[in-house]
Structure 1
């Protein structure tokens, strides 16, 4: 027997926050619960079987600490909330939402959106060396950079070093315009982008001029000992075994390192093995080293990215 439910929202801002862009969130709520979900002004109308209406109502209520205050609800928030309902992890979900890493320059909260992202953040906080392996869009580099920037700004570390191997993914460095720094900047752009989310560009420039923030290719790390530093090695699937060993052994006293990569997107020549794959085999059970795995369910970019990752994973399993 069909039933109807209704949830009154406190403001137009909360209605927009819950609905999402082009009402994408309403479609996600409907897909997750089987109920028909429609927003009329500030009223959320829910229609379906008794179980569907009850489930949808519980799911929307579990998101209330976001939409009530006009905070943007994402599709990933809905999926995580549904997972929390199914696994009775509501308290953990509430704690995760309250653990705000930083605010970006638009005033929006930066936080974990999934339980695996939260495990990753906790691993970084409690381990000297953390590896994170997962597909594009899961926040591997972004979350690590945010934590690193916050640690630097609170004087926990003296330097922030962001590095990645400059592997030529279909392009030849020699054909790019400019000097060496200009040639390698495109490889380092994602690291800059994450920094710019929480630190003013002028301040970043000042920190870089003083050597407090360093964004450089992995080759620049050879022969150094990185003391009192927060180091992020990005795109680590493109390191050779020797490069990975070199990078890991740079870690000095009172330092922390995060190594991120996607082992399904290696740009190394066919005859070379990925240093990230080998490191996982060798270091899996070493004390004070954490390994975190993120999946397509942790993708926090445009929802279509999650579908793209899922489609490729399905194709590659054939």
Structure 2
């Protein structure tokens, strides 16, 4: 692949063009995407114009933005050469991430999380890559710390990435089981009044955890692991009295745990285990006057160096762009602390 900066096409041209040549026309077609949708996404995000001529792409626009678009196209093409697809999420990730520190980042042989300096999470069904710098730092801490907190608004990948790392560590044999739990906070209906067995009553609260696991493990394997209790999904209250050894444990929606529940959960940590606590301080569903255990845990545990805290903002939202706008609107409307 060759890249060159062309001089202005006329004396009135505001900036030079960047020309890229791609040796494999089949990969170039994949790079452009169906109906050139990948090129259109890059054009919209960077404010440039991309023209395809044979095996060449010519980028027009501001010189700095043209170079940024050219660098992005080269990275995506290299991804295709490595046998990986290019989707909208990959374009979004490359535009968000700061790659300046990757050359200095060596491979981590213990957790196999780095490939050529890039942070990746290997699961049975897919390869998961952080899409923002905050997500990248979070994933690194999940692998490196025995206890890690992920705090921020909905849609920032806190739980999804935590479960992905858990599946990866389980596959690699670093832990023997995965335990996922949430506070079963009542929202208008008491669990005891709902029909069905105990499992059927709590399943609606656990569904987001099931959804994440289904993304990373084949259905039959997941069903077998659940039957063998190698993977457990349970309400937070079920953790009382247990010592969790050689396990990867995730507490989701931790803002809805009381201070006593949080203390109970954190003290379940056993030998060879790792704990991840995720939550959103703006979505506390506890009764008025009850302090969130997540807030207390931040205050009390932040000084402990072996415990990591990662924070996300609306800029890290990787759902529909409207989600980030909605979060920002609510943040602006909040009264000052």
TM-score band by shorter chain is 0.7 to 0.9
Q: What whole-Å deviation, never above 9, does each CA across 1:287-314 have from its counterpart, x for those lacking one?
A: 3111111222322233333333333333
Match of 2:103 among 91, 95, 105: 91
Out of 231, 239, 245, the position equivalent to 2:257 is: 239
The answer for the alignment partner of 2:275 in structure 1 is: 257
The TM-score, its normalising length taken from structure 2, stands at: 0.80
After superposition, give the CA deviation of every residue in 1:69-118 in whole Å (9 maximum; x if it has no partner).
45224357446446537xx446379967744311453xx42122222212
Give the deviation of 1:216 after TM superposition: 0.4
| Distance of aligned partners of 1:11 and 1:285 in 2 relative to their CA distance in 1, 3 Å threshold | farther
2:73 is aligned with 1:53: no
Residue 116 to residue 49, structure 1, CA distance change in 2 (3 Å): closer
Deviations 1:125-177 (A, max 9, x none): 12111111122222211111122122223332222111110012355435543
Gaps of 5+ in 2: 1-12, 106-113
How many positions carry a matched residue from both structures?
313
- Cα deviation, 1:209-245, whole Å, max 9, x if unaligned, reads 2222111000001111112211111110110111101
Spell out, residue by residue over 1:241-279, the C-alpha distance to the aligned partner (whole angstroms, 9 max, x if none): 111011001111221111111111111122111111110
Question: Aligned pair 1:178/2:178, yes or no?
Answer: no
> Which SS does the other structure have where 1:63 is aligned?
helix
- Residue range with higher mean Cα deviation, 93-102 or 211-220: 93-102
| Residue 42 of structure 2 corresponds to residue 29 of structure 1 | yes
Distance in 1, Cα, partners of 2:46 & 2:198: 54
- Equivalent positions of 1:183-202 (< 5 A) are 183-202=201-220
> Measured at CA, do residues 119 and 90 of structure 1 come closer, stay the same or move farther in structure 2, by a change above 3 Å?
closer
1:269-280 aligned within 5 A:
269-280=287-298
Query: What are structure 1's unaligned runs of at least 5 residues?
Result: none
- Change over 3 Å in CA distance of 1:45–1:82 after alignment to 2: farther
Alignment pair present for 1:135 and 2:153: yes
TM-score, normalised with respect to structure 1: 0.84
Residues in 2 aligned to 1:303 and 1:41: alpha-carbon distance in whole angstroms:
34
Q: Whose Rg is larger?
A: 2
* Residue 63 in structure 1 maps to residue 63 in structure 2: no
